[in-house]
Structure 1
Amino acid sequence: MTSDSTQSDVTPTESATDETERLRNVVASIGYVLFDFDGPICRLFAGRPAADVARDLVRWLKERGLRGLLTAEEKEEPDPYVVLRAVDRRHPHSDLVAELEQWLTRQELNAVATAMPTAYVDPLIRTWSATGARLAVTTNNAPCAVGRYLERRGTLDCFAPHIYGRTQDLSLLKPHPDCVERALRAMGAKPRATLMIGDAPSDYVAAERAGVRFLGYARNERKARLLREAGAEHLVDSLERLSRVVYAMGHTKAP
């Protein structure tokens, strides 16, 4: 298996029927579904790698004589949100952080035009919504970028108004459970009747802290390893079978 191959929960001796049954157990009695955005719904920076955005953010700081705010490791960090959080820890609620956040929001809005939808997610979203489940987005991305993307895909009505993203208080970014808890409060959702789908350890930790169930989407072995190391038990490498399971369960409930 190459480094780009994907890996699911299925073992070499496990059948597709077993995987389907496990997914049924994961989504059973779920009335609320929280999607992380960048990963499970789309690859936001598909047209321009997130690592390039992180480098531009570091360059932005350097041009203003502020590169010393970051450690050597942070300067090489491929995740722009990690860089943003690092600056916020040293200058919380400052004009600098506000300006950086606005800069990143512009990058996200620009990236919407070239974002790549995650395979099978659109039918999954529409099917889950049609079965009566209430959906929300819980993300570290800017809500305006999420809304613009969903509108382009024709799925905004499945979520609106429940989009809970980055706020001015960057200390509340995941793994803090703030966005998950905001979604739960707004929808009147019981945590144990809620499932979060995420692709990063921070998603899993936020879900755990909020008491909601978690399903990891791992599109490659690296993602799967990181999620498992964080403690995630249930992973899928594609949303295809999940979409089929949700459809079948919804069809069974139909009169």
Structure 2
Amino acid sequence: MAGTYEDAEEAWQLLTDGTGPACVLFDFDGPLCRLFPYDSSLPLADALRETVAAEGLLDVLSPAERSDKDPHVVLRAVHRARRQRDVGDLVARMEQQVTVGERRAARTALPTPGAAELIEWLTGRGTRLAVVTNNAAAAAEDYLRAKGLWESFAVVHGREADPDLMKPHPDVLDRALKDLRLPPDEAVMIGDTPTDFMAAEQAGVRFLGIGRNTGKRQLMRDAGAKIVLASYAPLLARIPR
């Protein structure tokens, strides 16, 4: 179901009770922008598969992984295969290939409606902001600079060399909180996937889900997320003018 009135009230309270959270941790692709709109990630995923095939390792991909549009699925699959197969430096080369593709995509990413307004309001309240993403930090930085949002963010943390540390692992949240010198209970994460919710839960961070369609919202609810909105509009409508 869509975000309810109760969800909107709880989301508002999450961001305003007391003095509000000391920090809001934004996932990048989804809560801030659509990095690969309209399945435009598929060419990058296909390019990764070509790299894997050139090494004679296409058989490490499952049938689903051989057609998945998500480049991270292909990257994780080859990383997983290293436990049984000698893949040499293939994972590292693929990670760089993904980073280049994500930085290219950041140039044409579609801003998430209301994100800039929410960022302005939060920074005006003195809330510190961070990006915690499975994408390359450089891609998020490129986007924030291009949109004039860079100065609003205290830290940006992205994918490390080890794909095992991507969300749902809490590593990227832990790194951001360490840089901010904040305990988990002083932060709220805004994410749009079950893995975002699971990472926040493991890190001890409260979670606000944003899902632009019914399917995304339901997946977060099924994972256990309690507050899920369809957009930032209900929050922006509550900001005193």
TM-score (normalised: structure 1): 0.86
CA distance in 1, matches of 2:59, 2:110: 35
Which deviations, in whole Å up to 9, do the C-alpha atoms of 1:55-108 show, x marking residues without a partner? 332233123322112111221222211221111122279410000000011101
User: Secondary structure of 2:37's match?
Assistant: coil
CA distance in 1, matches of 2:223, 2:89: 34
Specify the code of the residue in structure 2 equivalent to 1:24. W
> Quick one: structure 1 residues 30 and 55, their matched pair in 2 at CA, closer, same or farther if it must change by over 3 Å?
same
Q: Is the 8 A contact 2:192 2:220 kept in 1?
A: yes
> Quick one: structure 1 residues 61 and 34, their matched pair in 2 at CA, closer, same or farther if it must change by over 3 Å?
same
Does 2:145 match 1:143? no
CA distance in 2, matches of 1:238, 1:148: 24
CA distance in 2, matches of 1:56, 1:217: 30
1:201 to 191, 194, 198: 194
Q: Is the 8 A contact 1:197 1:214 kept in 2?
A: yes
Q: Which residue of 1 aligns with 2:60?
A: 69
> Quick one: structure 1 residues 202 and 19, their matched pair in 2 at CA, closer, same or farther if it must change by over 3 Å?
closer
CA distance in 2, matches of 1:145, 1:21: 33
1:55 to 32, 40, 46: 46
> Quick one: structure 1 residues 66 and 240, their matched pair in 2 at CA, closer, same or farther if it must change by over 3 Å?
same
Q: Is the 8 A contact 1:112 1:149 kept in 2?
A: yes
Structure 2, unpaired ranges of 5+: none
Does 2:77 match 1:89? no
Does 2:156 match 1:163? yes
Q: For this pair of structures, how many residues does the alignment match?
A: 235
1:35 to 17, 23, 26: 26
TM-score (normalised: structure 2): 0.91
* 1:223 to partner: Cα distance: 0.3
Specify the code of the residue in structure 2 equivalent to 1:218. G
Q: Is the 8 A contact 2:7 2:227 kept in 1?
A: no
* 1:243 to partner: Cα distance: 2.9
Superposed CA RMSD in Å reads 1.8
* 1:20 to partner: Cα distance: 4.3
Does 2:94 match 1:100? yes
Q: Is the 8 A contact 1:47 1:115 kept in 2?
A: no
Q: Is the 8 A contact 2:7 2:228 kept in 1?
A: no
> Quick one: structure 1 residues 183 and 46, their matched pair in 2 at CA, closer, same or farther if it must change by over 3 Å?
same
User: Secondary structure of 1:73's match?
Assistant: coil
Q: Which residue of 2 aligns with 1:4?
A: none
Q: Which residue of 1 aligns with 2:127?
A: 133
Between 205-214 and 166-175, report the one with greater CA deviation: 166-175
* 1:31 to partner: Cα distance: 1.5
Q: Which residue of 2 aligns with 1:233?
A: 226
Which deviations, in whole Å up to 9, do the C-alpha atoms of 1:131-187 show, x marking residues without a partner? 100000000010111101000000000114x00101112210000000001111111
Structure 1, unpaired ranges of 5+: 1-6, 11-15
> Quick one: structure 1 residues 85 and 194, their matched pair in 2 at CA, closer, same or farther if it must change by over 3 Å?
same
Q: Is the 8 A contact 1:216 1:235 kept in 2?
A: yes
